[in-house]
Chain A
C-alpha cells in the first residue's frame, strides 16, 4: 500500500483520538483513555514515518499534493488539501516524534490528575491541528490548523480551570494570538485579492512566472509581497511569541509541564518560523520586511535571554529561553538562512522538549515546587533526569558536537553574511543562553537541598515511562545536529534536502553562502568562545555549592538592573496601562454614555416631550362648555380669516 496516499490520516488519527477520548470515554476508564490517547498519535507517527520513508526514498524533493474535498465554491473556492514536501516532511517528523514522546511521558506525569482523559483529548486535538498546520497545501488549511493549535493552547494552559490564574493565562494567550491572527487574515485577503488563490503551489507558480506581480506597489509604499509578508510576520510574532507579542508565553507556563514542552517549546510556537519559511518566496521579494524579521528576531533573542538570567521559576527560565531561541530562528529566517532556521527549529524541538520534560520530572519529584531557590542538590536523587537535563543544557548552550552547536552556528554564519551587528547580537545571546541555562542546572541539581523536610523525604526518580522519553530526546539532542551543515565540511544533508523548498527567483538569487575556511574558523571559534564564557561566568557565580549566595551577591551589586530583569522589564504592566485599561474605559464610555445617555436619552427626551405636550395640551379641554363654544367661535373666525387672505 502507498503510504503517500494516506497523508490525510496523519492529522485525522489524532482528531479521532480526541473525539473518542472527549466524548465516548468516561473518566473512570483510565486504561482506555491511555490506550486511545497514546494510540492515536502513535499510529499517526507510524503513518508519518512510513510516508516519510517512502517519500525520501522514492521521490525526494518532489511536492506531493493531495486534495481531500472541496471546502467552498463560488466566488472563493478552496480545497481541503495536503502537501508533502521537504519542509512539511521535516516538520511532520519533528511534530509526530516529539509529540508522541511527550504523550508517553504524560502518562506518567499526569497519572494522578483528575482530568487525565480530558488532558489526552486536548493533546490529541492539538496534535491533529498542528499536523493540519504543517501538512496543509494552502494558507487556508494552514490557518485552520493555526487557530486550532491556538485553541488547544488555550484549553491546555487553562487545564487547571478551577484555579484562578491558569484560565486567565489561557485567555491571554488566545487573545494575544488573535492579534496575530488578525494580521494573518488581512495578509490572506491581500494574497487572494492579488493572486486569486491561497494555494502555496499556485502562488509560487505565479510569482515565479512574473515576480513583478508581487513587487508591484500596493499600499503605504509597500509592495504586494511587502504588505503580505508584513501581515504574515505579525501573525508569526503572535504565534511565536516575539516582541512585542511575546507576553503570553511566560504566563502559558501555568499549564501542565508536558503541555509547555509540546506546545510552548517544541511545536506550536515554532509554527511562525515554519510559516515564514513556507512563504520564503514572498519574503525574498520583500527584503525590507526580511530585515524587520531579522531585527525583531535578534532583539527578542537578546531581550528574552537577559530576562532569563533573573528568573527563579525553572519553567519561566525555560520559557524565556524558548522566546529567545525563537528569536534566533527568526533572525535566521530574516537573514535568508531559511534552512538554518528550520534546522534550529528541529534541534531546538529536541533539546527544549528534553529540558521541559526534565524540569517536569524535577517538579514531579518536588511535589509541584517550581522555584529553583527551594531546590538544589537534586542530582543525587534524580540521576537520569540530571544527566539528560545536562545534555539538553549543553546542547542549547552550543557546546561543540551537540545539536545546538551546529544549528546555532549555521544561524550565526547566515547572520554574519547579512550584517555583523546581527551576528554580534546573536553571539552575545549565545553567551547569555549558556549562562542562564547552566545557572538553572546549578541551582537545581548542585549545592545542597533547600526544600522542606517532607519534600526531601519524597524525592525520587521518575518512573521509566517518563525517563525513557527523556533518554530518547537526549539522544536526539546529541545527534540531530549532524543532519545539517557541519562546519569545515561540505556535509549538509538538510541543505540539499531543502534545496527545492527555497525558491530561486529569477533576478533575486541569494548570494551564494560559502566563505573561506579562515572566516568559518573565526566564526566557529567565536561562538564556542561565547558559549564557554557564558558557562564559565555561570559557574563562577552559582557553582561550587555556593547555592544562592553568588546570585544574590550579584543582585545586590546591580539592584536596579536585577529589579528590572526580575520583573521582566514591566512589560505586562505597561501593556495593561496603555492598551487594556484605556480600551475598557472607551468601551464603558460607549455603553454608559453613547448608548444609555445619548441615544436612549434622546429617545426618552423625545418621548417625554411628546407626553408633556399632550399632558399640558389636554388641559385645554377645561370641562367648561363655555370655553368649548369659544374654541368653536375662534376656530370659525380664524379659518374665515385664513380663507379670505
Chain B
C-alpha cells in the first residue's frame, strides 16, 4: 500500500522555521497551563525559539516546496530575518508592560510566535491560497494580541475595529483571488503571470481581481485611503503589541504587494499600475504627515507617521522591476528598527493604557530618563530622515530609486512631506528636553528587556547611518538572484 497522504520529507524540512515557531508557541501555551511559575522566562524562551527559527531560515535549502505553493530564496530568507527581528523586538518590549498590567501570560508570546509564523509563510508564499492562509493566520493572531488587555475598553475596541475591517477586507481578498483564479485558471503567481502575458481572460475582471488583492494588502500596509483603522488600533491596542503590529505585518505584506505589482505590471494590463501605486504613495505621504502633525497623542502620531512611511516605502513600486527589492528591504529594516524602538519606549514610559498618550506627558523627562529619552530622540531623528541614521539611509535609497527611474515627482513629494514630518518628530524631542517637567512619572514599566530593546534599536539605527556597509553587503547577497 502506498501512503497517499505522505508528505515528502523535504517539504516538511522546508517549513522548519514555521514549525519551530508554531511548536514553541504551543509549548508556551501548555506551560501557561501547567507551569505558570515560569512566566518570567516565557519571553526568554520565545526569543530563543525565534533565534532557532532564524537559524533555520538561514540554513534553509533554497527552492520551491509543496508543489510550489511556497518558496525559499535568499530574498525570502532576508525578509524572513527582518520579520524575526521585529518579532524579537516585539517580545523584548512586552514583559515590563505586561507584568505591570498583570497580564503576563504564555498566550502573549505564543500569539506573537504564531503570528510571525504566519508572516514567514506570507513572505514565502507564491500562491494565492497560501498567501491568503498566511494572511489570515497572522491577522487572527493579531486580533487576539490587540485585544490582549482584557480589562481595557480601548484595547477591546481597537481589536474589534481591527477585526471587522480585517474580515471585511479579507472577503474582498478572497473575491479578488476568485476572480484572478477564474480568469487566469491558476492561483500561482508565476502561472498567473504567464497567463496574463498570453492575454487570456477578460481584462475588466482581471483588473478588478488584482485591484481587490492589492487593496487588501494596501490595507495591511495602511496606505491611504485604506488607512483609517491604523490610528485607532495603534492607540487602543497595548503598546508592546503595537510595537510588533506596526512593523512586522508591514514587512510581510510589503513582500506580497511587491510580488503582486510585479506580476501584473509586467503584463499587457500593466499600464496604469505604476501611477496607481504612485497615487497611493503620494496620498499616504501627504495625508499621513499632515494628520500626524496635529496629533497630541504620541501613539496616534506614530500611527499616522507609519502611514506616511508606508507611502515612502512604496515609492519604488511605482517603477516595478528587479531593482525594486533593494530600497524596499533597506527601508523596511530601517523602519522596523526606529518604529519598534519608539513604541517600545512609549510602552515603557506611559503609565495608563488606553487613555491619551499625550506627547506633553514627556515634558522634561529627557533628564529623568536620559537613556530612554536619548534612544527615543535617536528614533525620532531617524523617523524624520536626518543623517546619520538608518531612516536617512532608507529615504536616500528610496529617492535614489525614484530618480533612477524618472520618478523625480515622487521624490519631490517625498521631501515636501518629510519637511512636515520633521516638525512633529521634533515636537517629541523638544518636549523631552526643552520643556519643564509637568508630572513626575508613575507606574513606568521600565525593565531590562525594554532597555535592551531601546538600546538595540537606537544603536542599530545610528550604526546603520554611519556604517551600513555590512548590512548592504548582506542585502546584495540576498538579492543576488534577481
Contacts and interface: CB of A to CB of B under 8 A. Distances in A.
A–B contact (CB under 8 angstroms): yes
Interface of A: 610-611, 613-615, 617-618, 620-621, 623, 625, 627-629, 631-632, 634-636, 639-640, 642-644
Interface string B220-257: 00000110110110000000000000000000000000
B26 interface: no
A643 B273 CA distance: 8
B478 to A, nearest CB: 32
Contacts of B160: 625
Nearest to B280: A639
B291 A621 contact: yes
B290 A617 contact: yes
Contacts of A615: 294
A632 B215 contact: yes
Nearest to A628: B228
Nearest to B291: A618
A644 B204 CA distance: 7
A636 B165 contact: no
Interface SS of chain B: helix, strand, loop or mixed?
A: helix
A615 to B, nearest CB: 5
Nearest to A620: B228
Contact of B207 (A611, A620, A644): A644
B367 interface: no
- Chain B: interface size category: 20 to 34
Contacts of B279: 642
A633 to B, nearest CB: 9
A636 B215 contact: yes
8 contacts: A611-B294, A617-B290, A618-B294, A625-B165, A629-B165, A639-B215, A639-B276, A643-B207
Interface in B325-366: none
B232 A621 contact: yes
B432 interface: no
Contacts, number: 73
A627 B290 contact: no
Given A613-B290, A628-B161, A629-B164, A618 B272 contact: no
B420 interface: yes
A631 B225 contact: yes
Nearest to A626: B164
A625 B159 CA distance: 11
Nearest to A634: B225
Contacts of A644: 204, 207
Q: Which of A631, A632, A634, A644 has the most chain B CB atoms inside 10 A of its CB? A: A632
A632 B168 contact: yes
Given A615-B294, A635-B226, 18 more contacts: A614-B291, A614-B293, A617-B290, A618-B295, A621-B228, A621-B291, A623-B232, A625-B161, A629-B168, A631-B226, A632-B215, A632-B219, A632-B228, A636-B215, A639-B215, A642-B276, A643-B211, A643-B276
B204 A614 contact: no
A629 B204 CA distance: 23
Contacts of A636: 172, 211-212, 215
B475 interface: no
A606 to B, nearest CB: 11
B287 interface: yes
A182 B285 CA distance: 54
B228 A611 contact: no
Contact of A640 (B164, B208, B290, B291): B208
A628 B420 CA distance: 25
Nearest to B204: A644
B169 interface: yes
Nearest to B292: A614
B232 A632 contact: no
Contacts of B226: 631-632, 635
Contacts of B169: 632
B172 A611 contact: no
Given A617-B291, A620-B228, A631-B225, A640 B211 contact: yes
Given A614-B294, A644-B204, A621 B231 contact: yes
A642 B208 CA distance: 11
A639 B211 contact: yes
Interface string B261-274: 00000000000100
B211 A631 contact: no
A640 B291 CA distance: 26
Contacts of A610: 290, 293, 420
Most buried by A among B225, B231, B232: B225
Contact of A625 (B172, B229, B291): B229
A631 B215 CA distance: 12
A625 B219 CA distance: 14
A614 B305 CA distance: 13
Contacts of A620: 228
B67 to A, nearest CB: 32
Contacts of A618: 291, 294-295
B165 A628 contact: yes
A631 B165 CA distance: 11
Contacts of B229: 625, 628
Contacts of A614: 290-294
A240 B184 CA distance: 99
A636 B211 CA distance: 7
Nearest to B225: A635
Contacts of B204: 644
Nearest to B231: A621
A636 B172 CA distance: 10
A631 B225 CA distance: 7
Interface string B180-221: 000000000000000000000000100110011001000100
Nearest to B420: A610
Contacts of A631: 225-226, 228
B272 A642 contact: yes
A635 B224 CA distance: 9
Contacts of A613: 290
